[in-house]
Chains A and B, each alone.
Chain A
């Protein structure tokens, strides 16, 4: 890799404690012992730091929740009273000391409000990256590279078969199909948080300015994105719109709606979905999709590996996904690795 800094050879200085002595794997997730808080805990906890609003990371019922203001508002929208009795917002880059630990949130580039958690304790630094991607995304700031002693990474797409194509080309496919089948509706299955808004923004950037139709489950989050300052253009709830009104239109819905009776209200829908998994044609075919769009909010294989090289941590811990492949590749480059086997995280997108 060109431009990569030389990797630090030594472990943290003699007096700095190794992160494994204070950042611990527990049944409910990663626990920061000297600060007495959990990161993305899977069960209700006294103090939780939440990396982003997806439901396998942001769960309800914690007493005190620390996250970016955007993540907190996403949590309030999705779970109401369950979003945490006390909520504390932290801006990107702002630091906060909790007991003996200093903490900062920096952009992860995954969805609106998504953050990596930078933890410092007695001169040793660990970064818990949550879910992240390295591509440009008009809906959130890009991933911030932070050097550290231990980097905790996801491994959702950690196989060399996963190389996400350019999202512009994928959106071009969708628009081409809309032209080829003007008498049909295009139903795009998207994750309600992040993917939906990114697809809308990509459509707008490609010059598509017609209203975009939404399944009810997507409306609230799109409004939230809009109120955070993102210009999504005109979107409308499909509601009771008769079939004839949806001819030639693009409709976004949660992936499960494609198989649901809900989709019968659309005129001869072309079933599409946007997900990194769809790079594997067999998977797209199994799901009965007519137009798979390979658009992912996670880092692909090359990006995961490049990220490990850029943060330059001598040690990498791998959480959910295909840990063994990333560990295999990182070990071959002399990086010390460890699989965390955290439970409770979705191995796969719903698509």
Chain B
């Protein structure tokens, strides 16, 4: 029975939110607000579960040091008080510091060195002319796109460099087009799932 009720709620909410394709109405807004309410409630429950298992339970079991992150977490709420706002800066400084420090550990390797290494393509792949041409295109687009971002050196403004720079701009526009197409594909896939749900699971037409 619960499954059937869930199925109907899901189907009705899907149809309600779909009316947004026509225009924003109280029906579509109601569906949006229900979704936000449910998600907020779920996030609160999950967050409490996390605080409980990572903080409270450990303190209760005698690991007293865990009181420090719990107190820092409480201090974060000082942002809602004008008098005690300054307290909020300490947990934020710590979170930013730890976040940046952790990310730095793999940043140079992953974002710089390995990507440079990954851009060394062979221009002569034996027995595969397609791969050789592909790699040549990759090299030209990489170099030309980088030239586009050289603004301050006069030598970079010569005729050849200007043309390469223009080519780099078109290459980037092609990449943006690829990104845009991927965004559309994501949205279509998301809605395809809902259509399949409505027709196959709810209406059982298939």
Q: Say whether A and B bind each other.
A: no
Which A residues lie at the B interface, using CB under 8 A? Answer: none
